[in-house]
């Protein structure tokens, strides 16, 4: 007898569940959310070893209540070509398991999987959903310039968008890019959302974290949460913090990053006093507690096509924990939207950004802005706010 619930297979082997925050926030969390809303969701992924695969199968089931199939398969390196080979090999290995699961919907976000997955889905009366997260070829072009690799990735990317039976994307800017490149107009726009049951402002956590790091209640804490990749503009953020530290005596700076030692060296070589900084890392589940201890968040990006179409998960996490944002122009749909909503400041980097931030702070009603930031997250970028769109996307 056919199952009565719609069964969705999240096939995402390209991220390791043991180390990828992206997988947890962008795949496992929404899959768990849909599971709670009446869908039958299953996750299929990979880990480098048999032992890690067994461990993460149990962990995913415990944390998310998701049945999971984790296949042991190690990538040789991080090159685009190796990723292509890995994706094809994984699909060959996983094909039998996919047939056994018998999903109604197969979800993927990997441009190299789409054509073959679409055939498997159709053969089994299932629908393939391709989740477009960004412009992959442009990311390659930024790193390596115009090359054969760029044109190969662009071909695979556009073919995937044209081939998939259904597509979703993370911003209206990305939807416009898809329309311009493929003439396809039916993409569902579902931003990178946040679990507002986990990411909440907790006044008790604020006290505990501030006490742990000896941060006085009177301090205004600026928070950066993320890695140190070039596109995250950490040097620009530190430069801005330097100037704020000089002019705002009660300022303090919290850095949540997995690259603690590297960041400490960067700050030591800057004019930002290390005594004003707290540099730490934490488990993904503990991030809300640390964000609750801060007062403002910051995200800076270059105004490029890659960032114009993006939907950073960090924006939802920061807002849901009550942090208004310092932003640069060109960050997905958010730069203008948050500024107009009054829960962020859109800084002009060419016109003394520290003065713009300080002016914003002088008019800062902490309680009011915290309330508005949380409300915006709940109404616009929580999974609950996107449930109806998700139902349309995963309908059969």
Label residue 9 by pLDDT band (50, 70, 90).
Answer: very high
Q: Are 16 and 23 in contact (CB under 8 A)?
A: yes
Q: Are 105 and 114 in contact (CB under 8 A)?
A: no
Q: Is domain 7-193+384-393 annotated with CATH 3.40.50.2000? A: yes
Give the residue with greater pLDDT, 80 vs 222. 222
pLDDT digits (tens, 9 = 90+) for 27-76: 999 999 999 999 999 999 999 899 999 999 999 999 999 999 998 887 76
Q: Where are the domains of the chain?
A: 7-193+384-393, 203-380
Average pLDDT over the chain reads 92
Concatenated DSSP letters for 102-160? --SEEEE--TTTHHHHHHHHHHTT-EEEEEE-S-HHHHHHHHH-SSHHHHHHHHHHHHH
* Average pLDDT over every residue of 184-199: 95
| CA–CA dist 170, 192 (Å, integer) | 6
pLDDT on residue 173 = 96
- Are the folds of 7-193+384-393 and 203-380 the same? yes
| Alpha helix positions (H), the chain | 21-23, 29-36, 50-64, 80-101, 114-123, 136-144, 148-163, 172-182, 203-212, 234-247, 260-268, 287-292, 305-308, 313-320, 334-340, 353-362, 366-380, 387-393
pLDDT on residue 3 = 52
* DSSP 8-state symbol, 318: H
| CA–CA dist 253, 350 (Å, integer) | 23
pLDDT on residue 307 = 92
pLDDT digits (tens, 9 = 90+) for 99-136: 899 999 999 999 999 999 999 999 889 999 999 999 98
Q: Say whether pLDDT at 148 is over 90.
A: no
pLDDT on residue 73 = 81
pLDDT on residue 77 = 67
Instruction: Quote the radius of gyration of the chain (alpha carbons, Å).
Output: 22
CA 332 vs. chain centroid, Å, equals 12
pLDDT on residue 87 = 87
Task: Count other C-beta atoms under 10 Å from residue 355's C-beta.
Answer: 13
pLDDT digits (tens, 9 = 90+) for 235-277: 999 999 999 999 999 999 999 999 999 999 999 999 999 999 9
- Look at the block and give the residue holding tokens 């930002």: 272
Half-sphere exposure of 166 (CA within 13 A, CB side): 21
| Exposed e or buried b per residue across 227-262, where buried means at least 16 C-beta atoms within 10 angstroms of its C-beta | eeeebbbbebbbbbbbbbbeebeebbbbbbbebeee
- From the options 3.40.630.10, 3.40.50.720, 3.40.50.2000, 3.50.50.60, give the CATH code of 203-380: 3.40.50.2000
Q: Say whether pLDDT at 1 is over 60.
A: no
- In the chain, the percentage of residues whose pLDDT exceeds 70 is 98
pLDDT on residue 4 = 75
pLDDT digits (tens, 9 = 90+) for 365-392: 888 999 999 999 999 999 999 999 999 9
């Amino acid at each position: 007898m056919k199952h009565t619930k719609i069964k969705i297979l999240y096939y995402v082997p390209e991220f390791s569940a043991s180390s990828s925050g992206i997988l947890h926030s962008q795949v496992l969390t929404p899959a768990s959310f849909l599971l709670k809303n009446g869908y039958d969701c299953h996750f299929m992924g990979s880990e480098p070893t048999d032992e890690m695969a067994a461990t993460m199968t149990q962990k995913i089931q415990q944390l998310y209540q998701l049945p999971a199939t984790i296949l042991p398969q190690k990538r040789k390196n991080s090159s685009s070509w190796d990723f292509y080979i890995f994706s094809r090999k994984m699909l060959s290995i996983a094909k039998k398991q996919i047939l056994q699961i018998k999903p109604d919907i197969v979800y993927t976000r990997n441009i190299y999987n789409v054509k073959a997955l679409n055939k498997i889905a159709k053969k089994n009366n299932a629908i393939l959903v391709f989740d477009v997260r960004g412009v992959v070829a442009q990311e390659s072009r930024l790193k390596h310039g115009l090359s054969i690799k760029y044109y190969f990735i662009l071909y695979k990317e556009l073919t995937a968008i044209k081939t998939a039976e259904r597509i979703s994307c993370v911003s209206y800017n990305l939807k416009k890019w898809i329309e311009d490149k493929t003439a396809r107009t039916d993409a569902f726009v579902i931003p990178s959302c946040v679990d507002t049951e986990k990411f909440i402002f907790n006044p008790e956590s604020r006290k505990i974290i501030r006490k742990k790091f000896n941060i006085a209640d009177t301090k205004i804490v600026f928070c950066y949460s993320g890695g140190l990749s070039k596109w995250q503009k950490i040097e620009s953020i530190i430069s801005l913090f330097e100037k704020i530290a000089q002019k705002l005596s009660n300022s303090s700076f919290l850095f949540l990053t997995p690259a603690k030692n590297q960041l400490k060296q960067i700050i030591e070589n800057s004019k930002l006093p290390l005594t004003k900084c707290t540099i730490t890392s934490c488990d993904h589940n503990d991030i809300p507690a640390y964000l609750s201890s801060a007062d403002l968040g910051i995200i800076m990006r270059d105004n490029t096509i890659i960032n114009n179409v993006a939907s950073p998960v960090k924006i939802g996490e920061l807002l849901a924990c009550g942090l208004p944002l310092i932003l640069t122009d060109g960050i997905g749909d958010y730069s203008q939207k948050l500024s107009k909503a009054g829960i962020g400041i859109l800084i002009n980097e060419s016109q003394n950004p520290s003065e713009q931030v300080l002016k914003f702070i002088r008019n800062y009603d902490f309680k009011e802005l915290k309330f508005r930031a949380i409300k915006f997250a709940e109404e616009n970028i929580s999974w609950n706010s996107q449930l109806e769109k998700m139902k349309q996307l995963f309908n059969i």
